[in-house]
Chains A and B, each alone.
Chain A
Amino acid sequence: MEMFIMSFTVFVLAIFVGFEIITKIPPTLHTPLMSGSNAISGITLVGAIVSTGTELWITTVLGFLSVVLASINVVGGFMVTNRMLAMFRKKS
């Protein structure tokens, strides 16, 4: 229970941080925001890596699938966001 309260505290505080930052992002960048948040939500990769590396074969299979999916998110998300953001230029 103690652990849950700790985790839950982090969860609630992080939501507030998220609200504070994201309300300041201008509408022009809303699409890169979505693809960029896709990329960081690929953080599930961290959990997937540990599951894949364990001894149980079935968790290895499940872990492997999630490593593939999360890696698509991470690599695809960051790259496509970078590609989009590079196109936003100032008036010359």
Chain B
Amino acid sequence: MHVLYQTWPWYISGFGIGMILLILIWFGKTFGMSSNLRSLCSIAGAGKFVPFFNFDWRAQRWNLAVVLGTMLGGFVAVHFMSDPTNVDINPKTIELLGQYGIDAPNGKLLPDALFSADALQSPKTVFILVIGGVLIGFGSRYAGGCTSGHAITGLSNLQLPSLKAVIGFFVGGLIMTHLILPLIFNK
């Protein structure tokens, strides 16, 4: 039983994610998480101001149901299926994080230095989280998809545009991790 509480191996997890993609295709839908952000903007009334949001989001309700499911899944996995061996990352990574003043995982999914209630007292942390979100939202809509839509679905379907987008994801990620994060966390 406890093997379920430990970190799931990459080959099982990857296979599971691939199967979710195939099941959604079998349901007659396309796997993609970021399009829900557009739906949420439309539900909030953005269509009155910007034509891009004036679309039939009701046709996307199935995807919002997927989102609801992911939230429930996250709740169950975190509260009932976790144990202290989780997030056993490379000791070299932990050492590097230490230099940035970021706490080691010790079983946690997220660093307290960025996500704890205490950290949110600092305007800098809130700014980091909001700007991170803005880049994610803007970038995924500009590129027409995120990790699920391009990296998983697009590459599975041998789409050249998705390959360009995924190369972009990694270029951006490497620039952030190696050039910008050291500036942000430099004490």
A, B from the same assembly: no
The chain A residues found within 8 Å of chain B, CB to CB, are: none
